[in-house]
Amino acid sequence: MPIQNHRGTKRAKHARSLKTPPGRGLPFFAFIILGFAIVNAIGFVLLMLPPSSADGDFTNPVDALFTATSATSDTGLVTVVTATHWSSFGQGVILGLIQVGGLGFMLFSSSVILLSRRQINLHDFRFRDTLGVSNFRSFFVLFLQSVALTIVVEAVGAYLFWRHFHESGIDSSVWHSVFYSVSAFNNAGFDLNSSLSLVDYASTPYILMSVAGIVIVGGLSVPLIFEVITKHKRRKFSIDTKLALIATLFLLILGTVVIFAFERGNAGTLGALDSGAQVSNAFFSSAITRSAGFTSLDIGAMAAETLIFMMVLMFIGGVSGSTAGGIKVNTFTVLSLTAVSYIRGRSKVVAFGHRIPEVEIHRAVSVFFFSCIFILVIVLVLAVIEEASLIQTSFETVSAFSTVGLSTGITPALTTAGKLIICLTMFVGRLGPLVMIMALARPLLREEKEYPEEEVRIG
């Protein structure tokens, strides 16, 4: 019988700690996907039942599945009008799915693992990067901070909305306020208007700025927010926080300027508003394009150049670890710094006097690459089976993948196959391409084999 040395046994156990939790044959990342799918399935069944619809009939299974997936992934794309199709119970189910998705299903999955005392290799950089913590204590702190921040921001948001809805004499003003607050903070984009999203509030800065403010907070990660609160001096912020804040501010300003410039003469969007409303709506559109899904303008009436620019903003998304989607501004900044470093002839990527680890660069490149490939495949498939234009299907795909929820208006008219494909896109977009890849990846060994180095010509 062959003898296995102690070092080999220890390395094998270490490798299995992430891939297969004790007592289970399911890889950790696959456990996340399965848990997400179970919540989605529960929402699907509940929404399909008669009590969930306003008319008391069964809802079409495809529409129920689409809505459940959109809510759980915090996207906001809909095939039926939320305000008129769903009953109070159905709207409550949607709100519950939004909240579960917004808190971060990976965080929820990890809490289940923590409570069941499963041993997970938190020193594996792939797990640490996905969850953002390196040990169970930091995870527990992150969990408490997430819950506390969610309660505080959603409560403040509900009050702000209630003031306006109550004074406007809207029926069920409390319910509307809670719904909008939860939807905004979780960057979901679901609304209770029978008309097009927040178009009725295009000339109401109070509502637009309240929604935009909550959306922006939701698009920042919990660790970042608490770091800003506890470390008042900018020089004490981590490099990650500095880059995320600068990129977020830059994209908000850039989005406002570009959307204003492209749409100010468009009578179907900003052109019909006064100058003050034009600026506020341009800023609002820039903020919500990052992942929220609300809209105060008719997206279908926008110019092609505006839609293309908005796709770029949607693709970038919000901060890593937040309720927002996209490849995340952290990935965008690392890729940008890498390109700048290469142009300047530097072999290392440096920011604020610190070098960015190569593993982070590899991760950013992986996220960008797999995201682009996935989106390209989906766009090609939709272009074949749908009658919509290429820019419409591209916008729908990027919106679904980045869990934004904006649409040019083609969502209800999609074929059954198209709706199911968009469901898959929202599902993958919410979990992130790396989580899907890690579910199939090999277990990480502590020591990697060294290979000889040889250059490959690029460009």
d(CA 401, CA 325): 8
| Structural domain spans, the chain | 25-439
For 368, the enclosing helix (H) or strand (E) is helix 358-385
Q: Is residue 163 packed enough to be buried (19+ CB in 10 Å), middle (13-18) or exposed (0-12)?
A: middle
Provide the pLDDT for residue 104: 64
Q: Are 184 and 294 in contact (CB under 8 A)?
A: yes
d(CA 328, CA 402): 9
Q: Are 431 and 438 in contact (CB under 8 A)?
A: no
Q: 103 phi and psi, to 5 degrees?
A: -65, -15
CA dihedral 285, 320, 160, 263 (to 10 degrees): 0
Provide the pLDDT for residue 101: 84
Q: 355 phi and psi, to 5 degrees?
A: -85, 135
For 351, the enclosing helix (H) or strand (E) is strand 350-351
Per-residue tokens: 96: 């519950």
Provide the pLDDT for residue 113: 44
138-147 long-range Cβ contacts below 8 angstroms, 24+ apart: 139/110, 139/114, 140/114, 142/107, 142/222, 142/223, 143/107, 143/111, 145/222, 145/223, 145/226, 146/103, 146/104, 146/107, 146/222, 147/103
Provide the pLDDT for residue 414: 94
Q: Which of 43, 164, 156, 132 is nearest to 94 (CA)?
A: 43
Provide the pLDDT for residue 308: 96
d(CA 235, CA 239): 10
Which residue positions in the chain have pLDDT lower than 50?
A: 1-4, 6-25, 109-110, 112-119, 122-126
Task: State pLDDT tens for residues 318-337.
Answer: 888 777 888 889 889 999 99
d(CA 398, CA 344): 32
- How far CA 244 is from CA of 83, 123, 351, 409, in Å, comes to 35, 24, 12, 32
**SS3 at position 355:** strand
Provide the pLDDT for residue 58: 95
Q: Are 146 and 124 in contact (CB under 8 A)?
A: no
Q: Are 94 and 426 in contact (CB under 8 A)?
A: no
**SS3 at position 76:** coil
